[in-house]
A and B are shown apart, each in its own frame.
Chain A
Amino acid sequence: MLVMGEVRTGLLQNSGEIPESLCQGVLGLLSGERVRTSRRPIVYAVSPDQLTGVDCRLASASRARVRGVGTVLSRASVTGGRVLQGSSHIQVARAESDHRLSWSHYLARPGVIEVFGKVRVPDLADGFADSGGWNDCLDLGSVGERFMDVVQASPLLDRKAPFRSARTRLRWVAVAEEPGREGPGIRFTLGRDRVRTLRLVLPDGFTPDVVDFCEDLALHDWLLTTLLVIVERARVGTATRAEVTAKLAPAVDHLLHLWMPAARLDDDFAPLWEALERRPGFTRQWQSLVARVRDQVAINTLALLREAGGW
């Protein structure tokens, strides 16, 4: 079993968070299909699944030429009315024929890419995880990003983002646990250019919950990355207190309340989150940043009160 995906995460281009009622219009990428929403513990809306056909080379660590044909499954989602994600994934399967079949064959297997000839799962998994610089191979990130662009272009959005932020990319690979190979586990790597890679070894094979987990991780990684940049730009200790507070305000207005790791995940994935909480310790870092933001705001408030002659 080999499943590969990429999640891109960014700020929804709107001055404020959008209400749940607007999500249907913004994420309604397919007529006749409803956007699914959930309200607890955080408002989350997800578009209907979209398919994109591909027939191309798949990256492989050995640089072997591997051709795959099939469809990419994608969706766009908005969390807290504020964070937009475009997510695409595929399952790799061995083709039973040695030539390309009628397109209806591939459409009957949504989200599956059939590869011709003999392939080794680790070769493809390593190739995909490192495929950033390859330009003629399967590009899952661009597929998901196009659906994000469609959402961002919605006339229902005012396209006035409250602060500057960059999109992050999380490329993930999931394989099934096999006897004699590495046991169930998770490996998360921060790469350059806001690219993260995630490798999962799953004891029970692939379920759609894996995609939810990867999207959830990508969301929290983006939150952390974005908050770090905001704090960095505030130049605490260098700029005036008023300047620092003004730079930190968007974080208070738009980000701090969104942190809810594993909020909608199946219990099976709790151990994976717990492992990530031990190292690198997402929530620890987040809480420390949040405390810093709040302390800065509090100090500035005290200073203002003093100036006003309050005490």
Chain B
Amino acid sequence: MTPAYAAFGEVEAERRVASAPLSHVSIELGHLYMEDFQAGPERLREQFRQVAPWAETMRASWRARVPGGRARVSTCFLIDDYFSRFSTPSELVPMVLEAAAECDLTIDYLARESACAEADGVKLARLVEDRLVTDPPPGTDGSRPPVTETGWLCNGARSPYGGAVQAMGSARGWEPPAQNAKRRHSIFVDVELWDSDSRGRTWSCPFLAAVWQLLRLGLIRNDGELPVRPVPRGPSFPANWDELPAVVQLNPAAAPFSAYTTLSVLSTRFLPVELAVRTILSQVFVDAAVLRQVADRSGGEGIPLPDELVDRISYIFLGA
């Protein structure tokens, strides 16, 4: 008898990771807060008028890059229902769509900000928080746990506590914080990730925005599954925000929601928020299998992606 080769596999020992359909770019056309809504529909129209040429430029640039001009571009719009609740989907969404249409913009997907905290029973913000790998200051050798301030994340070493007294009893003067990756001088950033009170934890706006970018880049998995799948719109919009799916697909012909890269067109007042978002995203460890999946797909299309995910994110900041 000749020797036989026996193959043996066990399902539980193998990891399966679902893949997300991916566009080339996901363009965020806007982010609506209560103050914008209170300013009336004219404010929204003004915003869309400003955004439209930039969105078109991005679309054209991808058309030129992809063979046959078959660029997959999807657009999205985020409504804040997390920090304040205003109006209702049935009242607000048609108004937003109408204002966009007047500026020749199509909103493909509409998302609720609270979905970035929790969507369909999956605590997305917690998933991302668990994947933070803190930026180590020089001298971090692994012998002690990383120095962290609960609920905060920074890009360097914080100032020593004020009023700290040295061993010999002399009070210590102020010492500056330091950025880990500084070039001679520091730009030290310390971001509040969440706070809590008797009602529980409230995630900060930059943290939810970081989750939002990861969702748009198709890089979050829960148990190997995609945590959020866009739901096609119904004939009407509900009267309650909780009844609106996390991400609604408004345009049936839209390219996929998630994309290799993202572009956000924002007011300059969001600049500090986005610096905080990038500070967070620079410290998120995305599942290597998911990154490989995305890299294989984009490589197969002849579109190399930057290894660092913050480099897949672009912005256009517009003055008021």
Which residues of A are at the interface with B, using a C-beta cutoff of 8 A?
Answer: 30-34, 36-40, 49, 51-57, 67, 69, 71-72, 88, 99-105, 107-110, 135-140, 142-143, 146
14 contacts between A and B (CB under 8 A): A32-B223, A34-B15, A36-B12, A39-B10, A51-B133, A53-B134, A56-B142, A57-B141, A71-B133, A100-B138, A103-B282, A104-B311, A108-B309, A146-B145
Q: Which residues of chain B come closer than 8 Å to A32, judged between CB atoms?
A: 122, 127, 130, 221-223, 227
- Contact present for B282 and A102 (CB under 8 Å): yes
Q: Nearest A residue to B288 by beta-carbon distance?
A: A110
Q: Is the interface of A mostly helix, strand, loop or mixed?
A: mixed
Q: Given the interface contacts A30-B130, A32-B127, does A56 sit within 8 Å of B141 by beta carbon? A: yes
Alpha-carbon separation in the docked complex, A56 to B141 (Å): 5
Q: Given the interface contacts A34-B15, A103-B180, does A55 sit within 8 Å of B133 by beta carbon? A: no
Alpha-carbon separation in the docked complex, A54 to B126 (Å): 24
Alpha-carbon separation in the docked complex, A38 to B130 (Å): 25
**Chain B: minimal CB distance from A181 (Å):** 29
- Contact present for A139 and B130 (CB under 8 Å): no
- Contact present for A53 and B139 (CB under 8 Å): no
Alpha-carbon separation in the docked complex, A182 to B282 (Å): 41
- Contact present for A52 and B141 (CB under 8 Å): no
Taking CB atoms and an 8 Å cut-off, the chain B residues in 105-134 that contact chain A are: 122-123, 126-127, 130-131, 133-134
**Chain A: minimal CB distance from B157 (Å):** 10
Nearest 8 pairs of A and B residues by beta carbon: A56-B141, A53-B136, A38-B13, A103-B135, A108-B307, A104-B282, A139-B143, A104-B308
With contacts defined as CB atoms under 8 Å apart, how many contacts are there between chain A and chain B in the complex? Answer: 118
Q: Which residues of chain A come closer than 8 Å to B137, judged between CB atoms?
A: 55
Q: Which residues of chain A come closer than 8 Å to B309, judged between CB atoms?
A: 104, 108
Q: Which residues of chain A come closer than 8 Å to B227, judged between CB atoms?
A: 32
**Chain B: minimal CB distance from A262 (Å):** 14
**Chain A: minimal CB distance from B278 (Å):** 8
Selected from A53, A69, A110, the residue in CB contact (under 8 A) with B146 is A53
B47 within 8 A of A: no
Alpha-carbon separation in the docked complex, A189 to B131 (Å): 37
- Contact present for B282 and A107 (CB under 8 Å): yes
Selected from A37, A39, A56, A88, the residue in CB contact (under 8 A) with B140 is A56
Alpha-carbon separation in the docked complex, A100 to B14 (Å): 36
Alpha-carbon separation in the docked complex, A32 to B18 (Å): 13
Q: Given the interface contacts A34-B15, A138-B142, A139-B143, does A54 sit within 8 Å of B282 by beta carbon? A: no
B8 within 8 A of A: yes
Q: Which residues of chain A come closer than 8 Å to B123, judged between CB atoms?
A: 31
Alpha-carbon separation in the docked complex, A100 to B282 (Å): 14
- Contact present for B142 and A72 (CB under 8 Å): yes
Q: Nearest B residue to A69 by beta-carbon distance?
A: B136
Q: Given the interface contacts A37-B13, A103-B181, does A55 sit within 8 Å of B136 by beta carbon? A: yes
Q: Which residue among B133, B137, B146 has the maximum number of chain A CB atoms within 10 Å of its CB? A: B133
- Contact present for B155 and A103 (CB under 8 Å): yes
Q: Nearest B residue to A143 by beta-carbon distance?
A: B142
- Contact present for B141 and A137 (CB under 8 Å): yes
Q: Which residues of chain A come closer than 8 Å to B180, judged between CB atoms?
A: 55, 100, 103
